[in-house]
């Protein structure tokens, strides 16, 4: 019988990630009895390891990696299966001085062709020398790596079966620890380069100041390991702060969302995190099944964290109303703000405070204006959630378009500086220079304001579209559409619009040159299938007149203007 690792471990004093490297962190955690556990959708425990066992496996992995010929600083793509193999291999890379690059499973994508394209482009972006993937992906890996001549590809078992051995290469604090792709990008990937120093600083900040870990804490997560919240928030922070954590495969959660709450209840977990949509689908699923909450108890939770996308208060109210009968408290919610470019965490509200709302005029939050947020009672009002106080390491400024620093309660672009800010986008100096100044200030691309030292996020100046917590670059969606016969470069603009429940809905505006109804209908259907297959994004397709999409003075497509014109009604859709 498999037994989960314990929540309490009186033999090992808690250290809040006060280490120089991830190797030092795992070596300390290995002195205790806590560790990661893996569950299925039914809530059954299928695998359990202590951090000591992870440490032992990682060291064996490292010897194989070095023996196979991987050099210090080489990259290995690591398919992010929710398993002990992923965790062991990721940590093993640290003992080999090699950079793991977590990438999604095929199940997170729209189709084989699009997945293979994404995988190949990300491997080319980071110049990966190898890949570790589950054996069921052998055919996909072969197809994705044609002509790339990797040093080695295969499953965990394939690596461990290699008849080679090498010596460990331990990292220093300023060495890179891994690369994190900050979006679901296919055509334009951006790999965030994270150092051990940044990782240790951020996991310390989140564990000590953010969720304020205590000895009785136990975490549960369904978040994917290729996502910064899943990798750093619920895996590496738990490792670096010696916490037992229970994992559910992301694909299992997608099929059976209430498996998340079932494991929380069974483990008597105190910590969990999710984008807003995770709480949304749980509440909706529970409303569909009268017996959904039988035997569940959420009273053990002290932190239900929220991040990765705009926080929607209506969803959180619905979740509370649905699950308060089984012990959930609204005070458990812990809004936060973060991004891969800052390793992960930037700000957190106070534990036990719940959701704090600022009611502001919609007019002050739209367009390019940076108006004082007055909270007046006239006009259309919007609820803006307090995302908390920045961690102590950060400097923060709100700036206007001229880089002038704005006063409190004025809306502008959010700039950050701190130890956890990325060193660069790997092998991409041009994109790095566009967002990171020589003196270390990161242009987050997010719009917001400060109030009493806390951050309030109101939207984005950048064009990234977020769907279910995952980032999508509009250029990728546009590029996919332009591969369709008859669609020219510059004919399409990918934007997002508010959905029925204020969620972000991807939309593709397409210039159409035909007036025949049947051809328009076919174009819409072909575009929908093409984008879904190539990017995994389900888009609304809206046809507009030729030359209708707005341009900048230099002739470039303006997505911001296109979105504004569509929402205001000045950009009319054609009948399709």
**Segments of the chain scoring below 70 in pLDDT:** 108-111, 182-189, 290, 362-381, 460-464, 466, 468-471, 473, 500-502, 552-556, 576
CB 471 within 8 A of CB 496: no
Contacting residues for 298 by C-beta, under 8 A, at least 6 apart: 261, 264, 265, 323, 326, 327, 328
493 belongs to a structural domain = yes
Tell me the two tokens of residue 303.
Answer: 């932190």
411 belongs to a structural domain = no
Give the phi and the psi of residue 424 in degrees, each rounded to 5.
-175, 165
Closest CA to 384 of 375, 393, 392: 375
**What is the four-CA torsion angle of 282, 288, 290, 296, rounded to 10 degrees?**
-10
For residue 554, the model assigns a pLDDT of: 44
77 belongs to a structural domain = no
DSSP strand pairing (454-460 vs 465-467): unpaired
- Beta-bridge partner residues of 38: 47, 247
459 belongs to a structural domain = no
Q: Give the count of domains, the chain.
A: 1
For residue 522, what are the domain limits? 473-568
441 belongs to a structural domain = no
- What whole-number distance in Å separates Cα of residue 179 and Cα of residue 127? 11
User: Tell me: the pLDDT tens digits for 140-184?
Assistant: 999 988 888 899 999 999 999 999 999 999 999 999 999 998 644
For residue 261, the model assigns a pLDDT of: 93
Tell me the two tokens of residue 3.
Answer: 């037994």
User: Tell me: the pLDDT tens digits for 32-53?
Assistant: 999 999 998 888 899 999 999 9
For residue 368, the model assigns a pLDDT of: 40
CB 36 within 8 A of CB 49: yes
Distance set, CA 111 to CA 118, 253, 533 (Å): 11, 20, 5
CB 33 within 8 A of CB 5: yes
**Residue 208 DSSP label:** I
Give the phi and the psi of residue 266 in degrees, each rounded to 5.
-65, -35
74 belongs to a structural domain = no
* 514: CATH: 3.30.300.30
CB 114 within 8 A of CB 122: no
CB 204 within 8 A of CB 16: yes
Residues in the chain: 576
Place of tokens 């062709």: 113
For residue 481, the model assigns a pLDDT of: 85
For residue 205, the model assigns a pLDDT of: 97
For residue 372, the model assigns a pLDDT of: 47
Tell me the two tokens of residue 51.
Answer: 């951090």
Enumerate the H helices of 375-495 as residue ranges. Answer: 429-435, 474-482
Contacting residues for 500 by C-beta, under 8 A, at least 6 apart: none
Half-sphere exposure of 154 (CA within 13 A, CB side): 13
For residue 410, the model assigns a pLDDT of: 85
For residue 348, the model assigns a pLDDT of: 97
Give the rounded distance of the alpha carbon of 24 from its chain centre: 26
522 belongs to a structural domain = yes
User: Tell me: the pLDDT tens digits for 49-71?
Assistant: 999 999 999 999 999 999 999 99
43 belongs to a structural domain = no
Closest CA to 386 of 336, 460, 456, 458: 456
């Amino acid at each position: 019988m498999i037994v989960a690792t314990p929540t309490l471990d009186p033999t090992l004093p808690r250290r809040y990630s006060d280490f120089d490297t991830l190797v030092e962190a795992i070596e300390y955690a290995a002195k205790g009895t806590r560790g990661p556990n893996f569950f299925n959708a039914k809530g059954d425990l299928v695998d359990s390891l202590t951090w000591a066992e992870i440490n032992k496996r990682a060291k064996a992995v490292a010897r194989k990696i070095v023996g196979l010929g991987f050099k210090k600083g080489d990259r290995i793509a690591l398919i992010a299966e929710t398993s002990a193999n992923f965790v062991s291999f990721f940590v093993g890379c640290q003992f080999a001085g090699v950079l793991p690059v977590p990438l999604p499973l095929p199940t997170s994508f729209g189709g084989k062709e699009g997945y293979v394209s994404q995988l190949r482009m990300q491997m080319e972006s980071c110049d990966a020398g190898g890949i570790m993937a589950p054996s069921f992906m052998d055919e996909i890996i072969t197809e994705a790596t044609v002509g790339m001549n990797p040093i080695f590809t295969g499953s965990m078992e394939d690596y461990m079966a290699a008849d080679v051995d090498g010596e460990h290469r331990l990292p220093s604090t300023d060495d890179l620890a891994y690369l994190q792709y900050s979006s679901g990008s296919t055509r334009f990937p951006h790999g965030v380069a994270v150092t051990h120093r940044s990782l240790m600083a951020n996991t310390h900040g989140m564990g000590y100041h953010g969720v304020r870990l205590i000895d009785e804490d136990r975490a549960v997560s369904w978040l994917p390991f290729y996502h910064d919240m899943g990798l750093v928030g619920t895996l590496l922070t738990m490792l670096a702060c010696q916490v037992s954590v229970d994992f559910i495969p992301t694909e299992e959660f997608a099929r059976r969302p209430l498996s998340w709450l079932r494991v929380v209840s069974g483990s008597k977990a105190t910590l969990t995190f999710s984008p807003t949509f995770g709480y949304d689908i749980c509440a909706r699923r529970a409303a569909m099944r009268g017996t959904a909450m039988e035997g569940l108890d959420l009273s053990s939770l002290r932190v239900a964290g929220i991040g990765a996308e705009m926080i929607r208060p209506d969803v959180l109210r619905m979740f509370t109303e649905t699950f308060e009968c089984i012990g959930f408290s609204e005070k458990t919610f812990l809004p936060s703000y973060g991004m891969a470019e800052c390793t992960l965490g930037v700000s957190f509200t106070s534990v036990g405070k719940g959701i704090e709302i600022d009611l502001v005029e919609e007019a002050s939050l739209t367009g390019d204006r940076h108006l004082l947020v007055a909270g007046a009672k006239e006009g259309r009002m919007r609820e803006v959630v307090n995302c908390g106080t920045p961690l102590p390491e950060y400097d923060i400024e709100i700036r206007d378009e001229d880089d002038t620093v704005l006063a409190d309660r004025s809306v502008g672009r959010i700039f950050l500086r701190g130890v956890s800010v990325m060193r660069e986008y790997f092998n991409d100096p041009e994109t790095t220079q566009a967002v990171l100044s020589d003196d270390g200030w990161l242009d987050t691309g997010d719009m917001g304001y400060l109030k009493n030292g806390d951050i309030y996020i109101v939207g984005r100046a950048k064009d990234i579209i977020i769907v279910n917590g995952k980032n999508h670059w509009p250029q990728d969606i546009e590029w996919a559409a332009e591969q369709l016969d008859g669609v020219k470069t510059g004919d399409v603009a990918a934007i997002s619009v508010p959905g029925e429940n204020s969620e972000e809905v991807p939309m593709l505006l397409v210039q159409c040159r035909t007036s025949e109804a049947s051809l328009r209908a076919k174009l819409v259907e072909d575009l929908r299938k093409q984008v879904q297959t190539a990017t995994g994004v389900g888009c609304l397709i809206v046809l507009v007149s030729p030359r209708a999409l707005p341009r900048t003075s230099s002739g470039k497509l303006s997505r911001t203007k296109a979105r504004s014109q569509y929402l205001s009604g000045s950009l009319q859709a054609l009948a399709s």
